[in-house]
Protein backbone atom coordinates (compact mmCIF):
# COMPACT_ATOMS: atom_id res chain seq x y z
CA UNK A 1 0.00 0.00 0.00
CA UNK A 2 2.73 2.44 1.02
CA UNK A 3 4.73 1.66 -2.15
CA UNK A 4 1.68 2.33 -4.33
CA UNK A 5 1.07 5.67 -2.62
CA UNK A 6 4.70 6.68 -3.09
CA UNK A 7 4.64 5.62 -6.75
CA UNK A 8 1.45 7.61 -7.39
CA UNK A 9 2.95 10.66 -5.71
CA UNK A 10 6.09 10.41 -7.84
CA UNK A 11 4.00 10.16 -11.02
CA UNK A 12 1.97 13.23 -10.07
CA UNK A 13 5.13 15.22 -9.30
CA UNK A 14 6.71 14.11 -12.59
CA UNK A 15 3.69 15.12 -14.67
CA UNK A 16 3.47 18.43 -12.83
CA UNK A 17 7.13 19.03 -13.61
CA UNK A 18 6.57 18.34 -17.31
CA UNK A 19 3.67 20.74 -17.46
CA UNK A 20 5.60 23.38 -15.54
CA UNK A 21 8.38 23.23 -18.12
CA UNK A 22 6.09 24.35 -20.93
CA UNK A 23 7.55 26.93 -23.31
CA UNK A 24 6.04 30.24 -24.33
CA UNK A 25 4.26 28.45 -27.20
CA UNK A 26 2.20 26.49 -24.71
CA UNK A 27 1.63 29.59 -22.58
CA UNK A 28 -0.01 31.22 -25.58
CA UNK A 29 -2.39 28.25 -25.75
CA UNK A 30 -3.25 28.17 -22.07
CA UNK A 31 -6.75 29.50 -22.56
CA UNK A 32 -7.44 26.85 -25.18
CA UNK A 33 -6.27 24.01 -22.96
CA UNK A 34 -8.13 25.09 -19.83
CA UNK A 35 -9.84 21.85 -18.92
CA UNK A 36 -12.46 23.69 -16.86
CA UNK A 37 -13.82 25.30 -20.04
CA UNK A 38 -17.49 24.37 -20.26
CA UNK A 39 -18.18 26.17 -23.55
CA UNK A 40 -18.97 22.76 -25.08
CA UNK A 41 -20.74 20.41 -22.74
CA UNK A 42 -20.46 16.64 -22.95
CA UNK A 43 -24.15 16.01 -23.39
CA UNK A 44 -26.49 14.36 -25.85
CA UNK A 45 -27.68 17.84 -26.87
CA UNK A 46 -24.48 18.84 -28.65
CA UNK A 47 -24.30 17.29 -32.12
CA UNK A 48 -21.41 19.32 -33.54
CA UNK A 49 -17.73 18.45 -33.66
CA UNK A 50 -15.19 20.87 -32.28
CA UNK A 51 -12.42 19.41 -34.44
CA UNK A 52 -12.16 19.49 -38.23
CA UNK A 53 -13.66 16.88 -40.53
CA UNK A 54 -10.84 15.23 -42.49
CA UNK A 55 -12.75 12.14 -43.58
CA UNK A 56 -12.33 13.12 -47.24
CA UNK A 57 -8.54 13.54 -46.99
CA UNK A 58 -7.70 9.83 -47.08
CA UNK A 59 -5.30 10.17 -44.17
CA UNK A 60 -3.74 7.07 -42.69
CA UNK A 61 -2.51 3.58 -43.41
CA UNK A 62 -2.81 0.34 -41.52
CA UNK A 63 0.46 -0.28 -39.77
CA UNK A 64 2.11 -2.92 -37.64
CA UNK A 65 4.26 -1.25 -34.98
CA UNK A 66 6.02 -2.47 -31.88
CA UNK A 67 3.97 -1.49 -28.84
CA UNK A 68 4.58 -0.95 -25.17
CA UNK A 69 2.43 -4.01 -24.47
CA UNK A 70 5.21 -6.26 -25.78
CA UNK A 71 3.55 -7.14 -29.08
CA UNK A 72 3.05 -5.52 -32.46
CA UNK A 73 -0.19 -3.61 -32.92
CA UNK A 74 -2.11 -2.73 -36.08
CA UNK A 75 -4.91 -0.22 -36.47
CA UNK A 76 -7.37 -2.99 -37.30
CA UNK A 77 -6.81 -4.35 -33.80
CA UNK A 78 -9.07 -1.59 -32.48
CA UNK A 79 -11.85 -2.02 -35.05
CA UNK A 80 -15.13 -1.26 -33.31
CA UNK A 81 -13.50 1.30 -31.02
CA UNK A 82 -12.66 4.95 -31.57
CA UNK A 83 -8.90 5.34 -31.90
CA UNK A 84 -6.87 8.42 -30.98
CA UNK A 85 -3.48 9.01 -32.59
CA UNK A 86 -1.03 11.31 -30.83
CA UNK A 87 2.46 11.88 -32.21
CA UNK A 88 5.34 12.97 -29.99
CA UNK A 89 8.26 11.81 -27.87
CA UNK A 90 9.13 11.30 -24.22
CA UNK A 91 11.64 14.17 -24.00
CA UNK A 92 9.02 16.65 -25.24
CA UNK A 93 8.88 19.59 -22.78
CA UNK A 94 5.46 20.96 -23.61
CA UNK A 95 3.16 19.77 -26.41
CA UNK A 96 3.18 16.03 -25.65
CA UNK A 97 2.47 16.11 -21.91
CA UNK A 98 -0.26 18.67 -22.52
CA UNK A 99 -1.92 16.51 -25.20
CA UNK A 100 -1.77 13.35 -23.09
CA UNK A 101 -2.92 15.09 -19.91
CA UNK A 102 -5.87 16.64 -21.78
CA UNK A 103 -6.91 13.32 -23.32
CA UNK A 104 -6.66 11.64 -19.91
CA UNK A 105 -9.11 14.22 -18.59
CA UNK A 106 -11.36 13.68 -21.61
CA UNK A 107 -11.48 9.97 -20.79
CA UNK A 108 -12.70 10.85 -17.30
CA UNK A 109 -15.46 13.02 -18.78
CA UNK A 110 -16.59 10.09 -20.96
CA UNK A 111 -17.03 7.73 -18.02
CA UNK A 112 -17.83 4.18 -19.13
CA UNK A 113 -17.80 5.22 -22.79
CA UNK A 114 -14.01 5.58 -22.47
CA UNK A 115 -13.76 1.78 -22.46
CA UNK A 116 -14.40 1.99 -26.20
CA UNK A 117 -11.59 4.47 -26.85
CA UNK A 118 -7.97 3.51 -27.46
CA UNK A 119 -5.22 6.12 -27.52
CA UNK A 120 -1.93 5.35 -29.28
CA UNK A 121 1.07 7.59 -28.70
CA UNK A 122 3.42 7.18 -31.68
CA UNK A 123 6.95 8.32 -31.01
CA UNK A 124 8.75 10.46 -33.58
CA UNK A 125 12.00 9.76 -31.72
CA UNK A 126 12.50 5.97 -31.89
CA UNK A 127 16.22 6.50 -31.46
CA UNK A 128 15.71 7.30 -27.78
CA UNK A 129 12.18 6.03 -27.06
CA UNK A 130 12.38 2.31 -26.39
CA UNK A 131 9.12 0.42 -25.80
CA UNK A 132 10.00 0.15 -22.10
CA UNK A 133 10.68 3.86 -21.72
CA UNK A 134 7.64 4.84 -23.75
CA UNK A 135 5.39 2.50 -21.78
CA UNK A 136 6.40 4.04 -18.48
CA UNK A 137 5.76 7.49 -19.92
CA UNK A 138 2.29 7.07 -21.42
CA UNK A 139 0.82 5.07 -18.53
CA UNK A 140 1.64 7.91 -16.14
CA UNK A 141 -1.14 9.84 -17.87
CA UNK A 142 -3.64 6.98 -18.24
CA UNK A 143 -3.29 3.27 -17.60
CA UNK A 144 -4.89 2.34 -20.94
CA UNK A 145 -2.73 4.55 -23.15
CA UNK A 146 -0.38 2.55 -25.39
CA UNK A 147 2.87 3.70 -26.95
CA UNK A 148 3.97 2.66 -30.43
CA UNK A 149 7.56 2.63 -31.70
CA UNK A 150 8.08 2.69 -35.48
CA UNK A 151 11.29 1.36 -36.95
CA UNK A 152 13.54 4.11 -38.29
CA UNK A 153 12.88 2.63 -41.74
CA UNK A 154 9.09 3.14 -41.63
CA UNK A 155 8.80 6.23 -39.44
CA UNK A 156 8.63 8.56 -42.45
CA UNK A 157 5.92 6.43 -44.05
CA UNK A 158 3.77 6.60 -40.92
CA UNK A 159 4.30 10.36 -40.55
CA UNK A 160 3.47 11.01 -44.20
CA UNK A 161 0.24 9.02 -43.94
CA UNK A 162 -1.09 11.51 -41.36
CA UNK A 163 0.68 14.61 -42.65
CA UNK A 164 2.94 14.76 -39.58
CA UNK A 165 6.23 16.66 -39.71
CA UNK A 166 9.14 16.40 -37.29
CA UNK A 167 12.74 17.56 -37.23
CA UNK A 168 15.61 17.27 -34.75
CA UNK A 169 16.79 20.55 -33.23
CA UNK A 170 20.25 20.39 -31.58
CA UNK A 171 20.54 21.76 -28.05
CA UNK A 172 23.50 23.44 -26.40
CA UNK A 173 24.26 20.40 -24.26
CA UNK A 174 24.90 18.28 -27.34
CA UNK A 175 21.50 16.59 -27.20
CA UNK A 176 18.43 17.44 -29.27
CA UNK A 177 14.75 18.24 -29.13
CA UNK A 178 12.25 17.30 -31.83
CA UNK A 179 9.98 19.92 -33.32
CA UNK A 180 6.82 18.16 -34.48
CA UNK A 181 3.19 18.62 -35.46
CA UNK A 182 1.00 19.19 -32.40
CA UNK A 183 -2.46 18.18 -33.63
CA UNK A 184 -4.07 14.77 -33.05
CA UNK A 185 -6.43 12.49 -34.97
CA UNK A 186 -9.61 10.60 -34.15
CA UNK A 187 -10.31 7.43 -36.12
CA UNK A 188 -13.89 6.18 -36.18
CA UNK A 189 -15.12 2.69 -35.31
CA UNK A 190 -14.80 1.57 -38.93
CA UNK A 191 -11.13 2.55 -39.04
CA UNK A 192 -11.44 5.79 -41.02
CA UNK A 193 -9.49 8.88 -39.97
CA UNK A 194 -12.35 11.29 -39.31
CA UNK A 195 -11.46 14.25 -37.11
CA UNK A 196 -8.37 16.41 -36.67
CA UNK A 197 -8.08 17.98 -33.22
CA UNK A 198 -5.95 21.10 -32.72
CA UNK A 199 -3.52 21.31 -29.82
CA UNK A 200 -5.76 24.00 -28.30
CA UNK A 201 -8.67 21.57 -27.77
CA UNK A 202 -9.87 21.22 -24.18
CA UNK A 203 -10.77 17.99 -22.43
CA UNK A 204 -14.47 18.88 -22.68
CA UNK A 205 -14.18 19.46 -26.42
CA UNK A 206 -12.25 16.25 -27.01
CA UNK A 207 -14.74 14.27 -24.95
CA UNK A 208 -17.57 15.76 -26.97
CA UNK A 209 -16.02 14.68 -30.29
CA UNK A 210 -15.16 11.22 -28.98
CA UNK A 211 -18.73 10.77 -27.75
CA UNK A 212 -20.14 11.76 -31.15
CA UNK A 213 -17.99 9.15 -32.89
CA UNK A 214 -18.81 6.51 -30.28
CA UNK A 215 -22.56 7.04 -30.45
CA UNK A 216 -22.86 7.94 -34.16
CA UNK A 217 -24.81 11.11 -33.31
CA UNK A 218 -22.65 13.65 -35.13
CA UNK A 219 -24.14 16.68 -36.79
CA UNK A 220 -21.55 18.88 -38.44
CA UNK A 221 -17.79 19.17 -38.30
CA UNK A 222 -15.85 22.34 -38.93
What share of the chain has pLDDT > 70, as a percent? 77
Sequence-ordered list of residues with C-beta below 8 angstroms from that of 147, at least 6 positions apart, any chain: 67, 68, 120, 121, 122, 123, 129, 131, 134, 135, 137, 138
Alpha-carbon gap, residue 12 to 6, rounded angstroms: 10
Is-above-0.75 flag for pTM?
A: yes
Each domain of the chain, given as residue ranges in start order, spans: 2-25+48-215
> Would you state the pLDDT for residue 216?
83
- What is the rounded end-to-end Cα distance, in angstroms, of the chain? 48
Q: For 7-38, how does the pLDDT look when each residue is reduced to its tens digit (9 = 90+)?
A: 444 444 444 444 433 333 333 333 334 444 44
2-25+48-215 belongs to CATH 3.10.180.10: no
pLDDT tens, position by position, 168-206:
999 999 999 999 999 999 999 999 999 999 999 999 999
CB 18 within 8 A of CB 99: no
Backbone angles phi, psi at 110, to 5 degrees: -75, -20
Tens digits of residue pLDDT in 94-129: 999 999 999 999 999 999 999 999 999 999 999 999
Amino acid sequence: MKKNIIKSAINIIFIAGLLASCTSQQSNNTAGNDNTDNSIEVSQNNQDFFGSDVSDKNFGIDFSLQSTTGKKISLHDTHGKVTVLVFGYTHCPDVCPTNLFTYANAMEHLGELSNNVQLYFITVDPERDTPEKLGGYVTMFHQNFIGLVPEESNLEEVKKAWDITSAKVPTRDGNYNVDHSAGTYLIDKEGKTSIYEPHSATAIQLANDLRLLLTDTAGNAK
